[in-house]
Amino acid sequence: MSDDQLMKNIQTLIQSAGEDPHRDGLEKTPERYLKAFKFLTSGYAKDPNEVINGAIFDVPYSEMVIIRNIEVYSLCEHHLLPFYGKIHVGYLPQGKIVGLSKIPRLVDVFARRLQVQERLTVQISECLMQALNAFGVGVVMEAYHLCMMMRGVEKQSSFAQTSSLLGDFRNPATRAEFFNLIK
């Protein structure tokens, strides 16, 4: 579908809300919304493996590597409303590490798609596990969902927490160390 047709559809949506899409303030909204939506779903155009493959290094490091408090923004696939929060990612290297900046980039690849938090958490962990052949990967996400805050149950203080633990992160001691370190 062309951008012109998409903008006409957005105009129709604005009209269906009872607004005049040609009034000052709304006249350029379809164009702005389309640009924002393309940015918020830009992860479909990126290959997660390409994002990290150029930055995998042979390093004999065997302790846990953790990146905490990675800001994340995504769109709920059920309501097309944002959810946002923080992701904590850890892994146990098996002779290979990844450049630290690649982990937040990987998070953005998956977050910039229509998502549910549960899938997003798993996609990140599985991708890292496969790319690094790590002993284990742990991902924890805490997010606020506007579909719960602005509509539906309207609970502004509620947030969802999900985790995906693979390999050695399923070991109770490793799990406990990871959860303790990301507090």
SS (H, E, C) the chain: CCHHHHHHHHHHHHHHCCCCCCCCCCCCHHHHHHHHHHHHCHHHHCCHHHHHHCCEEECCCCCCEEEEEEEEEEEECCCCCEEEEEEEEEEECCCEEECCCHHHHHHHHHHCCEECHHHHHHHHHHHHHHHHCCCEEEEEEEEEEHHHHCCCCCCCCCCEEEEEEEEHHHCHHHHHHHHHHCC
Tens of pLDDT, residues 7-59 = 999 999 999 999 999 999 999 999 999 999 999 999 999 999 999 988 999 99
Domain range summary for the chain, segments of one domain joined by +: 3-40, 55-181
147 is a catalytic site residue: yes
79: annotated active-site residue:
yes
What would the pLDDT profile of 46-62 be if each residue is shown by its tens digit? Answer: 999 999 988 999 999 98
pLDDT(156) > 90:
no
What pLDDT shows up at residue 155?
86
Given this model, what pLDDT does residue 72 score?
A: 98
- Active-site hit among 19, 94, 126, 147: 147
pLDDT of residue 68: 98
Catalytic residue among 22, 31, 71, 78: 78
The question of whether 145 is a catalytic residue gets the answer yes
Q: Which of 76, 88, 115, 127 is catalytic?
A: 76
pLDDT at 54: 85
Catalytic residue flag (residue 127): no
| Catalytic-labelled residue, pool 27, 31, 71, 77 | 77
123 an active-site residue? Answer: no
Residues 55-181, CATH architecture: 2-Layer Sandwich (3.30)
Residue tagged active-site, from 11, 88, 115, 117: 117
pLDDT at position 88 over 90: yes
